[in-house]
């Protein structure tokens, strides 16, 4: 299982989003669970601006957007 704790993320841009999406897809190809935890408003906002849902979450889990 790959679990990324996003609690300490203070800045996030499209590169951050693309990197996490690539990691998620790579894990999926290997049947490994991939989860983002403690998604801060900064991280949620970066995914929102990119027009995608963070891997391992449901849109209803993202408060503050």
pTM listed for this prediction: 0.82
State the total domains in the chain.
Answer: 1
Determine, yes or no, domain membership for 26.
Answer: yes
Determine, yes or no, domain membership for 64.
Answer: no
| Sequence-separated (6 or more) residues with CB below 8 Å from residue 7 | 37, 38, 40
Tens digit of each residue's pLDDT (9 = 90 or more) over 12-61: 999 999 999 999 999 999 999 999 999 999 999 999 999 999 987 765 55
Determine, yes or no, domain membership for 63.
Answer: no
Determine, yes or no, domain membership for 42.
Answer: yes
Determine, yes or no, domain membership for 20.
Answer: yes
Q: What is the pLDDT of residue 61?
A: 53
| Sequence-separated (6 or more) residues with CB below 8 Å from residue 12 | 42, 43, 45, 46
Structural domain of 49: 2-58
The residue written with tokens 């991280």 in the block is 43
Determine, yes or no, domain membership for 65.
Answer: no
Cβ(20)–Cβ(40) below 8 Å: no
* Whether the predicted pLDDT of 63 surpasses 60: no
């Amino acid at each position: 299982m790959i679990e990324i704790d996003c609690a300490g993320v203070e800045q996030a841009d499209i590169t951050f989003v693309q990197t996490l999406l690539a990691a998620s897809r790579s894990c999926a190809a290997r049947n490994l669970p991939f989860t983002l935890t403690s998604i801060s408003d900064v991280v949620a906002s970066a995914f929102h601006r990119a027009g995608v849902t963070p891997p391992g979450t449901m849109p209803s889990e993202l408060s503050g957007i």
